[in-house]
Amino acid sequence: METETTIIDRYGVMGYPVSHSRSPVIHRLFALQTGQNLQYELLQVTPDKLETAIRQFQRTGGKGLNITVPHKSEVAKLVDQLSERASTAGAVNTLAFKDREIFGDNTDGIGLLRDLVVNLNVNLENARILILGAGGATRGIVGPLLEMQPASLLIANRTLGKAKILSDQFEKMGPVSCCRFKAVPTSEPYDLIINATSAGLHGDTPPYPEAAVSDNTFCYDLSYGLSPTPFSAWAREQGAAESVMGWGMLVEQAAESFHIWRGVQPDTAAVLKQMSVNA
Ligand code: ATR
């Protein structure tokens, strides 16, 4: 008897470590919801094996990858075609394989904007924005935030030099400046404070500028957890209007990757609900 084999399109997330990633759950929910037949794998790859692992995944029929910590900048150097937003961010979180070419994109910025503007109703036009941290996560969001025409965007970081590099890079796009945590001007409150440091991942709470938070300040942590992150707990203690973790951004950036790969836009609100996290 002849058996029919169906080839299922393969996707995955590559990182190190990667076991904690929620991307497989999210993409399986998207696939179920939109009736797409695909599989999505967790791929733990050390930096020295990155290029080989990507090329092997492509050779063996892989259709696309998400790229996560610590590979986002390195991967930007390996692709054949880079989207404008990935080029501005200097980082890639989505790869699509077409024929023999590798296309690199970055959906983190649009993921954050969709969560803030569409899901959470935050008004960014003319807003005073403070970003804490100046690493890869900040690099991916400064451009998209400046496109929303805020009144100002201040990058505060423990190491001033890293914040200065970013503010110099983006100053052509809008009113961006930088300082150390201790030097954050607090004469006027901030409308939005985004934590983009990785301090919480190590359980640290750096000396965040307390006076920057008012009861009108919306606080958003790019990190997320099942219980409040150190920053989101801190923001609540300071009396912020809202303190939200980055579950919504996670699901929105995944939805944009899914759209790049499959040409369909999943319903993110339904998936956030299904994940039953306190977003
Ligand atoms: P990535 O590029 O992957 O985001 P990174 O370059 O190490 O990683 O950036 C992490 C960010 O978190 C940086 O802004 C870092 O501050 P420094 O530039 O001063 O290193 C910040 N960060 C990490 N741990 C921190 C801590 N304990 N206190 C304050 N800032 C911290």
Question: Residue 229's domain is classified under what CATH number?
Answer: 3.40.50.720
Whether residue 86 lies inside any domain: the answer is: yes
Q: Which atom of ligand 1 is the closest one to the Cα of 158?
A: 19
Task: Map residue 274 onto helix, strand or coil.
Answer: helix
CA distance 89 to 109: 9
pLDDT tens, 65-76? Answer: 999 999 999 999
Last residue of one domain, picked from the residues 48, 76, 106 = 106
* 113 and 243 housed in the same domain: yes
Q: Which atom of ligand 1 is the closest one to the Cα of 138?
A: 4
pLDDT tens, 104-147? Answer: 999 999 999 999 999 999 999 999 999 999 998 999 999 999 99
* 234 and 116 housed in the same domain: yes
CB 102 within 8 A of CB 50: no
Whether residue 277 lies inside any domain: the answer is: no
CB 14 within 8 A of CB 68: yes
* 118 and 100 housed in the same domain: no
Q: Tell me the one-letter amino acid at 133.
A: G
CA distance 29 to 31: 5
Q: Is the whole-model pTM more than 0.85? A: yes
| Residue nearest atom 26 of ligand 1, based on CA coordinates | 199
pLDDT score at 246? 97
Dihedral over Cα of 158, 160, 165, 168: its sign? positive
Q: Where are the alpha helices (DSSP H) in 60-135?
A: 72-76, 84-89, 108-113
* 124 and 237 housed in the same domain: yes
CA distance 215 to 239: 6
End-to-end CA distance of the chain: 51
CB 24 within 8 A of CB 7: no
* 152 and 203 housed in the same domain: yes
DSSP state of 106: -
Q: Which atom of ligand 1 is the closest one to the Cα of 181?
A: 29
| Residue nearest atom 24 of ligand 1, based on CA coordinates | 199
Q: Is the pLDDT assigned to residue 266 strictly greater than 80?
A: yes
* 136 and 226 housed in the same domain: yes
Q: Is the pLDDT assigned to residue 2 strictly greater than 60?
A: no
Domain at 35, CATH number: 3.40.50.10860
Ligand 1 contacts (CB < 6 A) are: 69-70, 133-137, 157-159, 162, 197-199, 204, 206
Domain count, the chain: 2
The range of the structural domain enclosing residue 146 comes to 109-248
